[in-house]
């Protein structure tokens, strides 16, 4: 799929098609026999609990391992609340389709979950997934964590529109994306206050030709 096609595919998955696990994390697995991909997809913020996690910014050690991976507390806690269940389902799908590419993707809150899930899948299986996010916030903290996560993925695209305020969150030093793929033109500070428009433009094909 082209990036805009993938975004539109994600955006049109009905809420009741997702499984809810742990601390209200919504996810689903879609097997694409045409592209030969297994996609683990996370839903955007869907309820009040997601928004509580969105604003739980303090940094915590996500895993007590050599990487000393640091993540925002809310998203880290949310992922750890469901990771065993989600990973079991993804690993099962991967075993059933051993020649398929694993792609983990999501929009907004779902993009934050995708980054943490990709590390987890690589840590458990030593298989590096492809990761695609749209308008994801900065879920990790520090250059060391960024470097470690870069090595956990075989391909990564983190699309963020220049007028989308969500990828700027949290607005504190140290928080970062693993990678940045900026799209769109015509940055205007005032447009950052209109997320209803600029956080939902990722399905427009012309943005990816810039």
Domain spans in the chain, listed from the N-terminal domain onward: 3-209
User: CA 154: distance to chain centroid?
Assistant: 15
φ/ψ of 150, rounded to 5, equals -55, -35
CA distance 181 to 155: 12
* Strand residue runs (E) in 93-189: 101-107, 130-134, 140-141, 155-161, 175-176, 181-183
Q: Which residues contact 130 (CB under 8 A, 6 or more apart)?
A: 37, 101, 102, 103, 104, 153, 154, 155, 156
φ/ψ of 177, rounded to 5, equals -90, 160
pLDDT in tens, the chain (210 residues): 999 999 999 999 999 999 999 988 999 999 999 999 999 999 987 655 555 655 565 676 666 556 678 888 889 889 999 999 999 999 999 999 999 999 999 999 999 999 999 999 999 999 999 999 999 999 999 999 999 999 999 999 999 999 999 999 999 999 999 999 999 999 999 999 999 999 999 999 999 975
Q: Is 142 left (phi over 0), alpha (psi -120 to 50) or beta?
A: left
What global pTM score does this model have?
Answer: 0.92
CATH code matching the domain that covers 3-209, chosen among 3.40.630.10, 3.20.20.70, 3.30.1490.20, 3.40.50.1820? 3.40.50.1820
């Amino acid at each position: 799929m082209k990036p805009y096609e993938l975004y539109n595919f994600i955006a049109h998955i009905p809420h009741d098609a997702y499984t809810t696990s742990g601390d209200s994390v919504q996810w689903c697995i879609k097997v694409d026999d045409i592209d030969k991909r297994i996609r683990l997809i996370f839903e955007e913020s869907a309820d009040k609990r997601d928004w509580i996690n969105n604003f739980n910014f303090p940094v915590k050690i996500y895993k007590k391992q050599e990487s000393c991976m640091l993540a925002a507390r809310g998203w880290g806690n949310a992922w750890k609340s469901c990771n065993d269940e989600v990973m079991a389902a993804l690993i099962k799908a991967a075993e059933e389709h051993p020649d398929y590419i694993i792609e983990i993707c999501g929009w907004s809150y779902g993009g934050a979950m995708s980054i943490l899930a990709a590390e987890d899948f690589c840590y458990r299986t030593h298989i590096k997934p492809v990761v695609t996010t749209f308008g994801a916030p900065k879920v990790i903290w520090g250059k060391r964590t960024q470097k470690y996560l870069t090595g956990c993925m075989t391909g990564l695209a983190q699309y963020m529109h220049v007028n989308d305020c969500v990828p700027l969150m949290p607005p504190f030093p140290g928080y970062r994306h693993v990678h940045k793929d900026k799209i769109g033109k015509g940055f205007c500070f005032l447009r950052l206050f209109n997320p209803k428009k600029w956080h939902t433009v990722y399905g427009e094909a012309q943005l990816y030709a810039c």
